[in-house]
Amino acid sequence: MAQLGPAPEERPWDAFLRTTGGDLPADGYAGELQRFIELCHGRGLRSVLELGCGSGPVSIRLLQAGLYVRCVDGHEASLRRLAERLTPAQRSRARIEATAFANLRIEPESIDAVVAVRSINHGVFEDVMARFEQVSRGLRVGGLLFLYVTSDQDFRKRLGERMCSRTTVPTDGPEEGIPHVFPSSADLDAWMPELRFLHRSSHQVRVPRSSPYFDAYSTRSRMQMRLGRMVSSHHTVLAEKVSPHNATTEEQ
Ligand SMILES: C[S@@+](CC[C@H](N)C(=O)[O-])C[C@H]1O[C@@H](n2cnc3c(N)ncnc32)[C@H](O)[C@@H]1O
What is the pLDDT averaged over residues 102-131? 96
> For residue 228, is it within any domain?
no
Q: What domain range is 112 assigned to?
A: 29-149+182-204+234-244
Q: Is the CB of 166 under 6 A from ligand 1?
A: no
The predicted-structure confidence for 16-66, as pLDDT tens digits, reads as follows 898 888 788 887 899 999 999 999 999 999 999 999 999 999 999 999 999
**What is the number of the ligand 1 atom nearest to the C-alpha of 175?**
1
Residue 174 near residue 216 (C-beta atoms within 8 A):
yes
Q: Is the CB of 100 under 6 A from ligand 1?
A: yes
**Residue 8's pLDDT band (cuts 50, 70, 90):** low
Task: Quote the ligand 1 centre to 52 CA distance (angstroms).
Answer: 4
Query: Atom 16 in ligand 1: which residue has the minimum CA distance?
Result: 122
- CATH code (residue 126): 3.40.50.150
Q: What share of the chain is helix, strand, coil (3-state, %, to 5)?
A: 35, 25, 40
Query: How many angstroms separate the CA atoms of 131 and 138, rounded?
Result: 10
Of the candidates 210, 235, 219, 170, the one whose C-alpha atom is nearest the C-alpha of residue 12 is: 170
Q: Is the CB of 54 under 6 A from ligand 1?
A: yes
> For residue 7, is it within any domain?
no
> For residue 92, is it within any domain?
yes
Query: How many angstroms separate the CA atoms of 249 and 251, rounded?
Result: 6
Rg of the Cα atoms in the chain: 18
- How many structural domains is the chain composed of? 1
> For residue 9, is it within any domain?
no
pLDDT of residue 2: 40
Q: Across-strand partners of 199?
A: 238
> For residue 132, is it within any domain?
yes
Task: Quote the ligand 1 centre to 16 CA distance (angstroms).
Answer: 9
By CB atoms closer than 10 A (0-12, 13-18, 19+), residue 251 is exposed
> For residue 106, is it within any domain?
yes
> For residue 163, is it within any domain?
no
> For residue 250, is it within any domain?
no
